[in-house]
Structure 1
Amino acid sequence: MTRRALILLEGSRYNSPLYVQAAQRLGLHPITLSADPAQYDYLAAECVEAMRVNTDDLDALIYECSQLRATYDIAGITCAGDAFSATVGKLCRHFDLPGPNPTSIEQCCDKFTQRQLLAEAGVPIPAYRLATNAAEVDSAAAEIGLPVIVKPAVGSGSVGVRLCRTIDELAEHTTFLLGGEHIWRSSPRILVEAYAQGPYYTADIMGDEVIAISGGQFGPPPHFAYREFYCPAALTDDEQERIADISLSCLRALGLGWGPTGIEFRWTHSGPVVIEVNPRLAGATGPQLVQLAYGIDLVTEHIKLVIGDECDLRSRHSHTAAVRFLVADSDGNLDRIAGGSRAAAVLGVAEVKLYVEPSTPIVRKGDFPECIGYVIAASPSLAQTEAILHRAVDLIDFSITPFETVGE
């Protein structure tokens, strides 16, 4: 019998291993197509078949998938992130497989176009402007008024995102984005937005059903690197309903509603404001938190959609899950990191992950990729989960020696 294969386009260190494991549990043979498979350590660890192909070339991908069909029954094609979601949609249409609308995905992934469509639909969003050079950034910030958020119009993981509170900070970050340090996949386009202040929440959606609403906290400004998430968020029924209603308005405005969507909010003095809509599952351990909180495996349910099976989004229980991200407080060489096994042994800890080894150079940029690890815990109550998390994180110890400066 021909083996059923699930094609995974590119990957990530966060959710992609979950997709591989879920596919295998469903009896599927995962195959990763990547421009550089060696960048994903989990492929070798999970003994996952991987093929090198230019993933920016749709024709090359169609050819590779056509070749694979001679050996496998391709049950579905998907990806864990959003950078290749539109390409996945195009491949699914070519091979007559279930998948997202590529036009809707492309509109959503362009944050300026996303903003336009949300504004036209009356969805509450921050004031915004598009800029392509330093003069336009300055003009946009003057129109909106400081402080402003300045970020690439396309991107994820808070890469290149910064709160600019002064003219000097605005000039510094504009120089960073346009001066060659930031890597652009296309012509530079910068989004300048009003700073929406208030508690941060995310909505996890599958199809047109809001599954979970989580709360999160960031490290100190001007950056937006995640420090902690908890699911579910501590909201009243009315507050949850307001976020759910706005979430569904976002889906309608952007033509989404197939597969996963993650929406970010700030609860301002005037209520919830949409910060971003992402046509994918939340990264940064989001699926694990939902599964621990409600017993719903969003990764598995997404794959079921991809291969044409029926989803089961029923809640099995109601717990509180939380994650604490480990982030260095200084630049330098990581001398040691220890205590992971002790932390994992704490009752109520669900997972401990350490991404770095001793002798790793640490250079902080203020975005999520600099996270060096995390601890996840779950229990029947938020207070108990926070206590477990605090106890486990205290058992992890790492030290960093500052880089030597010139002249020392």
Structure 2
Amino acid sequence: MPGTPSPAAPRVLIVEPTSSAFGLIHEARARGLHTVVASHDQGDRRLPDPVRDSVGTLLQVDCNDEAALGALAAGLHARTPFTGVLSGDEFYVATTARLADRLGLPGLPVRSAAALRDKALMRARVAAAGLRVPRYAEAADAGTLTAAAALVGFPAVLKPAASAGSIHVTRVDDAAGLDRAYRELLHDTRPDDVGGYLDGRVLVEEYLPGPEISVEGYVHQGRAVVVSVTGKILSPEPHFLEIGHIAQAELDDAARERVESYVDAVCRALDVSLGPFHCELRLVGGEPVLVEIGARLPGGRVTVLTEWVTGISLPRIMLAAYTGGDVPSAAVAGAPSAKYAGVHNFTAPGTEVIQAVHGLERVRAAGFVREAVLRARPGDRVPPFGDFRCRLGFAMFTADTHAEALAHQAALAGMVTFA
């Protein structure tokens, strides 16, 4: 098969790839690397067929069992060393940092990775560096929840301390609403996208008014390099579901400079020392305030949007960073294929079971749409509205202006309906 790495090719280990990390597999193969993928490879974590066809070696292991994953990886590394180990999902950033440290491979400092997965630690370290973060307090039961609310005040945002994908991130305006949102969180027995469950630890934090953006970039030689700024389109509150994204966001030069300076300082505070980052911010009175940062590729097809509008491949940069490669060469921009690009995520609020889907062919026929995928089919149950689990598919599009991109997203929101 063309492009198939030789048996002697350098080997990279990718831990439980999902979403954007599938691009790591294809990028590694294109660069002649042998990909070793560790995955549970069952149920919701089964690798899609097009992805598994590009995998060099598939290791079936529950990556939530860090001891089993570590023993397997160490044994393989002793026989045929890896050149790098990369996290394929937000939930394995800390796991991968510990594994890289054990194997003597490039990786994030273990202490840093712990704070990147725990939002309370994250806020504490960023605040200690003198940067603004939301006023917050931790809670783990009804008593500490009441005390946290008294400290923070209302309106507030309730969120799990160590989850992702907007799971149970909820605006609350009073004590009754906070109690209701916390009980819903405790009673949610559904897993996240890698088989994990909520542990009841939460933050109650200050509600930040203002638009939300994400900053995509990478760290090289101690400096954060911003590649793109993505504008978010969120669902109506009390939820904060990402309905869509537009790359790039419209920021004037002064606002962009403030964002870039703040993100660089956040990376320094958390010792994010290499590789890509995805930093979510609210602009409060024009000033950036941290929502959270992940030392990983962005999800929601944002890596693709970023490459369309900048010509820069974040998966390529991540591979170079975590294998000791030439990051500046990996970060050289190709020719952008669009001035602006966006994605709209299809949802069906209020629908419990899909009876029929209308409008998908109209979406695919729209001249501005490059890709449209619908995962839901008639007969499927629809997860409750509010986090990434309720997204039923997406459409990706391009535009010549920011205003046109917003208009395309609004048009797509009305094209597909579910009965």
Asked if structure 2 preserves the Cα contact closer than 8 Å seen for 1:346 and 1:392, the reply is no
Q: Deviations over 1:367-400 (max 9, x none)?
A: 12211111111233223334444555555x3423
341-350 vs 130-139, greater mean Cα deviation: 341-350
Asked if structure 2 preserves the Cα contact closer than 8 Å seen for 1:212 and 1:232, the reply is yes
247-256 vs 14-23, greater mean Cα deviation: 14-23
| Structure 1 residue aligned with 2:39 | 34
Q: Find the aligned partners of 1:107 and 1:257 in 2 and give their Cα distance.
A: 13
Asked if structure 2 preserves the Cα contact closer than 8 Å seen for 1:293 and 1:378, the reply is no
Asked if structure 1 preserves the Cα contact closer than 8 Å seen for 2:39 and 2:45, the reply is no
| Structure 1 residue aligned with 2:383 | 363
Q: Find the aligned partners of 2:10 and 2:332 in 1 and give their Cα distance.
A: 27
| Structure 1 residue aligned with 2:22 | 17
Asked if structure 1 preserves the Cα contact closer than 8 Å seen for 2:345 and 2:394, the reply is yes
Instruction: Find out whether 1:198 has 2:210 as its counterpart.
Output: yes
| Structure 2 residue aligned with 1:403 | none
**How far does residue 307 in structure 1 lie from its aligned partner after superposition?**
2.2
287-296 vs 64-73, greater mean Cα deviation: 64-73
Q: Find the aligned partners of 2:143 and 2:291 in 1 and give their Cα distance.
A: 25
Asked if structure 2 preserves the Cα contact closer than 8 Å seen for 1:157 and 1:368, the reply is yes
Q: Give the number of equivalent residue pairs.
A: 398
Instruction: Find out whether 1:121 has 2:140 as its counterpart.
Output: no
Superposition RMSD on alpha carbons, in Å? 2.3
**How far does residue 172 in structure 1 lie from its aligned partner after superposition?**
0.5
Q: Find the aligned partners of 1:309 and 1:140 in 2 and give their Cα distance.
A: 46
Instruction: Find out whether 1:255 has 2:271 as its counterpart.
Output: yes
Q: Find the aligned partners of 1:66 and 1:257 in 2 and give their Cα distance.
A: 24
Which of 354, 367, 372 in structure 2 is aligned with 1:352?
Answer: 372
| Structure 1 residue aligned with 2:318 | 302
Which secondary structure does the structure 1 equivalent of 2:279 belong to?
strand
Q: Find the aligned partners of 1:17 and 1:357 in 2 and give their Cα distance.
A: 23
**How far does residue 218 in structure 1 lie from its aligned partner after superposition?**
0.7
Asked if structure 2 preserves the Cα contact closer than 8 Å seen for 1:151 and 1:160, the reply is yes
**How far does residue 148 in structure 1 lie from its aligned partner after superposition?**
0.6
Asked if structure 2 preserves the Cα contact closer than 8 Å seen for 1:89 and 1:102, the reply is yes
Q: Deviations over 1:262-300 (max 9, x none)?
A: 111111136221111222122111111111111111112
Aligned AA (2:313): D
**How far does residue 67 in structure 1 lie from its aligned partner after superposition?**
4.1
Which of 42, 46, 50 in structure 2 is aligned with 1:45?
Answer: 50
Aligned AA (2:12): L
Q: Find the aligned partners of 1:186 and 1:372 in 2 and give their Cα distance.
A: 23
| Structure 2 residue aligned with 1:226 | 242
Instruction: Find out whether 1:77 has 2:85 as its counterpart.
Output: yes
Asked if structure 2 preserves the Cα contact closer than 8 Å seen for 1:364 and 1:370, the reply is yes
2-11 vs 83-92, greater mean Cα deviation: 2-11
Aligned AA (1:11): P
Q: Find the aligned partners of 1:338 and 1:330 in 2 and give their Cα distance.
A: 16
Which of 109, 116, 120 in structure 2 is aligned with 1:112?
Answer: 120
Which of 275, 292, 310 in structure 1 is aligned with 2:308?
Answer: 292
313-322 vs 143-152, greater mean Cα deviation: 313-322
Asked if structure 2 preserves the Cα contact closer than 8 Å seen for 1:348 and 1:385, the reply is no
| Structure 2 residue aligned with 1:404 | none
Counterparts in 2 of 1:131 and 1:177: CA distance versus 1, 3 Å: same
294-303 vs 62-71, greater mean Cα deviation: 62-71
Which secondary structure does the structure 1 equivalent of 2:101 belong to?
helix
Which of 100, 116, 121 in structure 1 is aligned with 2:108?
Answer: 100
Instruction: Find out whether 1:378 has 2:398 as its counterpart.
Output: yes
Q: Find the aligned partners of 2:320 and 2:364 in 1 and give their Cα distance.
A: 31
Q: Find the aligned partners of 1:25 and 1:390 in 2 and give their Cα distance.
A: 36
Which of 223, 231, 256 in structure 2 is aligned with 1:240?
Answer: 256
Instruction: Find out whether 1:139 has 2:159 as its counterpart.
Output: no
Asked if structure 2 preserves the Cα contact closer than 8 Å seen for 1:344 and 1:392, the reply is no
318-327 vs 71-80, greater mean Cα deviation: 71-80
What TM-score do the two structures reach when normalised by structure 2? Answer: 0.88
Asked if structure 2 preserves the Cα contact closer than 8 Å seen for 1:343 and 1:393, the reply is no
**How far does residue 239 in structure 1 lie from its aligned partner after superposition?**
0.2
Give unmatched runs, 5+ long, in structure 1: 401-408
What TM-score do the two structures reach when normalised by structure 1? Answer: 0.90
Which secondary structure does the structure 2 equivalent of 1:229 belong to?
strand
Asked if structure 2 preserves the Cα contact closer than 8 Å seen for 1:334 and 1:398, the reply is no
- Structure 1 runs (4+) deviating above 4 angstroms are 69-73, 179-187, 387-395
Aligned AA (1:88): T
Counterparts in 2 of 1:181 and 1:55: CA distance versus 1, 3 Å: closer
| Structure 1 residue aligned with 2:62 | 54
| Structure 2 residue aligned with 1:176 | 184
| Structure 2 residue aligned with 1:399 | 418
Asked if structure 2 preserves the Cα contact closer than 8 Å seen for 1:328 and 1:364, the reply is no
Counterparts in 2 of 1:70 and 1:271: CA distance versus 1, 3 Å: closer
Give unmatched runs, 5+ long, in structure 2: 1-6
Instruction: Find out whether 1:216 has 2:232 as its counterpart.
Output: yes
Q: Find the aligned partners of 1:302 and 1:325 in 2 and give their Cα distance.
A: 26
Percent identity over the alignment is 25
| Structure 2 residue aligned with 1:161 | 169
Q: Find the aligned partners of 1:170 and 1:186 in 2 and give their Cα distance.
A: 17
55-64 vs 127-136, greater mean Cα deviation: 55-64
Q: Find the aligned partners of 2:383 and 2:322 in 1 and give their Cα distance.
A: 38
| Structure 2 residue aligned with 1:2 | 8
Q: Find the aligned partners of 1:122 and 1:70 in 2 and give their Cα distance.
A: 44
